[in-house]
């Protein structure tokens, strides 16, 4: 089926893969018409991490309100949309099903073309979307190297003008964001750990605690973060545990840990830029909001002759703009899903049910 799709098509995106329920309308795959995000930090904070059952229950509670908010801000009724895009995975299946079922119902009742989007493709495409007014990332077009650093993923991709992103390397154990969340817990800081650690780290000395720069396999492009988390825990114990630390000590631990993560990410990214002979790297996902990582990556780019592009802060963490953007690219190529589309918890970008948009029927 090769439905033609208008070049300035209005696409509603819906994202619910983890603990954010988000909806957004995009025109022509780049212009943000509206965006609404409902987070669940207060729901999960008492547990120090996302509780899947609570996440999906909260999604059920807010889904129609969030979608309505995005449509209202855009001044549109569902029937005025040209298409619908929804995250189908990877993520928590209970969470995904809420957004996916809602999207299917909306598509069916308004006779709208609809596509499922891979969450990580969404994160990567976020770097190509101009932030409202910020202009950051506005000129990024493939080819480039993409570094996805989120709560669930840490991976490098080759993003070409055609086809799906190709995996170059990924974490062997914990994701970088997961390490932030776990180390925050060790340091008695609140959930989510990334923003909490960065805030405390502002007053810390990044050289105060000697931590390893985690590298899985020298010379490769893989990452590893569980050893770093263990190193923090061992050093904490050696100093008599959290209770014997002053506020300044905690800040020093936070700054030292943040720097170790940033440096290891930058080292791998710089290596990928060399082996790929690439000139631009897009750094995306929740951890891309980290100030120190941004600074170190820009500095490495200046040294190594490449440009680092970061999405605006609100497009780093989970949002629906990125899903609408990735979905628009699929819809424009004639890709459509039907109501049998299922949610999936773990599927690499290049595998079924994800198909290469370049190979979609023309
Ligand atoms: O992309 P995202 O919103 O959700 C996933 O797809 O996982 O990423 C969430 C992750 C969390 O682990 C959070 O601690 C981390 O991103 N994060 C940060 C910062 N803001 C969010 N990590 C470091 N520094 C930050 N400023
Ligand atoms: Zn994400």
Q: What is the pLDDT of residues 269-310, one digit of tens each?
A: 999 999 999 999 999 999 999 999 999 999 999 999 999 999
Low-confidence winner among 7-21, 41-55, 145-159 (lowest mean pLDDT): 41-55
Are residues 84 and 113 in contact, defined by beta-carbon separation less than 8 angstroms?
yes
Between 226-238 and 176-186, two packed helices, what is the crossing angle to 10 degrees? 20
- 285 CA → ligand 1 middle, Å: 7
**285 Cβ closer than 6 Å to some ligand 1 atom:** yes
Nearest residue by C-alpha to atom 18 in ligand 1: 194
Q: Which CATH class is domain 144-310?
A: alpha beta
Residue 138: predicted pLDDT: 56
Between CA 116 and CA 159 the distance in angstroms is 19
pLDDT for residue 3 is more than 70: no
pLDDT at 130: 65
Q: Which part of the chain is CATH 3.30.420.40?
A: 10-135+316-359, 144-310
Q: How far is the CA of 23 from the centre of ligand 2 (A)?
A: 14
- Tell the residue nearest (CA) to atom 26 of ligand 1: 290
Q: Distances in Å between the alpha carbon of 34 and those of 63, 68, 234? A: 16, 11, 46
* Homologous superfamily (CATH) for 10-135+316-359: ATPase, nucleotide binding domain (3.30.420.40)
CB contact burial 23-55 (16+ within 10 A = b; e otherwise): bbbbbebeebbbbbbbebeeebeeebebbeebb
Confidence of residue 255 (pLDDT cuts 50, 70, 90): very high
Q: 């893969």: which residue's tokens?
A: 17
| Dihedral over Cα of 228, 152, 26, 159: its sign | positive
DSSP 172: S
Residues 6+ apart with CB under 8 A from 75: none
Q: Does residue 192 line the site of ligand 1, with CB under 6 A?
A: yes
To the question of pTM greater than 0.85 for the whole model, the response is yes
Nearest CA among 335, 350, 321 for reference residue 123:
321
Task: Report how far apart the first and last C-alpha atoms of the chain are (Å, whole number).
Answer: 8
- Give the pLDDT of residue 141: 87
**What pLDDT score does 162 carry?**
78
Residue 214 has pLDDT above 80, yes or no: no
Backbone phi, then psi, for 3, in 5-degree steps? -55, 130
**Does the beta carbon of 318 lie inside 6 Å of ligand 1?**
yes
């Amino acid at each position: 089926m090769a439905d033609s799709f208008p070049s300035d098509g209005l696409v509603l995106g819906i994202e619910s893969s983890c603990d954010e329920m988000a909806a957004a309308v995009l025109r022509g795959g780049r212009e943000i018409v509206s965006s609404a995000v409902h987070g669940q930090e207060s729901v999960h904070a008492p547990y120090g991490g996302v509780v899947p059952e609570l996440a999906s229950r909260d999604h059920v509670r807010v889904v129609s309100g969030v979608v309505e908010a995005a449509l209202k801000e855009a001044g549109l009724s569902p029937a005025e949309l040209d298409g619908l895009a929804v995250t189908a995975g990877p993520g928590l299946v209970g969470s995904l099903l809420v957004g996916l079922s809602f999207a299917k119902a909306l598509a069916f009742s308004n006779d709208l073309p609809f596509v499922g989007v891979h969450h990580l493709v969404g994160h990567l495409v976020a770097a190509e979307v101009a932030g409202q007014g910020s202009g950051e990332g506005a000129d990024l077009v493939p080819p480039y190297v993409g570094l996805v650093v989120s709560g669930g993923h840490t991976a490098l991709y080759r993003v070409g003008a055609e086809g799906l992103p190709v995996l170059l390397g990924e974490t062997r154990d914990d994701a970088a964001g997961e390490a932030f969340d776990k180390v925050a817990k060790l340091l008695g800081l609140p959930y989510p750990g990334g923003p909490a650690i960065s805030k405390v780290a502002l007053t810390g000395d990044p050289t105060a605690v000697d931590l390893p720069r985690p590298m899985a396999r020298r010379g490769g492009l893989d990452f590893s973060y569980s050893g770093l988390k263990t190193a923090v825990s061992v050093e904490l114990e050696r100093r008599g545990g959290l209770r014997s630390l002053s506020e300044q000590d905690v800040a020093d631990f936070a700054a030292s840990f943040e720097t170790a993560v940033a440096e290891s990410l930058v080292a791998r990214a710089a290596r990928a830029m060399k082996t790929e002979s690439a000139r631009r790297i897009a750094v995306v996902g929740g951890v891309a909001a980290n100030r120190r990582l941004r600074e170190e990556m820009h500095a490495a780019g200046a040294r190594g002759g490449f440009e680092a592009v970061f999405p605006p802060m609100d497009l780093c963490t989970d949002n629906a703009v990125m899903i609408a953007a990735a979905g628009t690219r699929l819809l424009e190529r004639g890709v459509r899903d039907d109501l049998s589309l299922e949610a999936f918890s773990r599927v690499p970008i290049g595998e079924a049910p994800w198909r290469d948009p370049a190979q979609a029927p023309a």
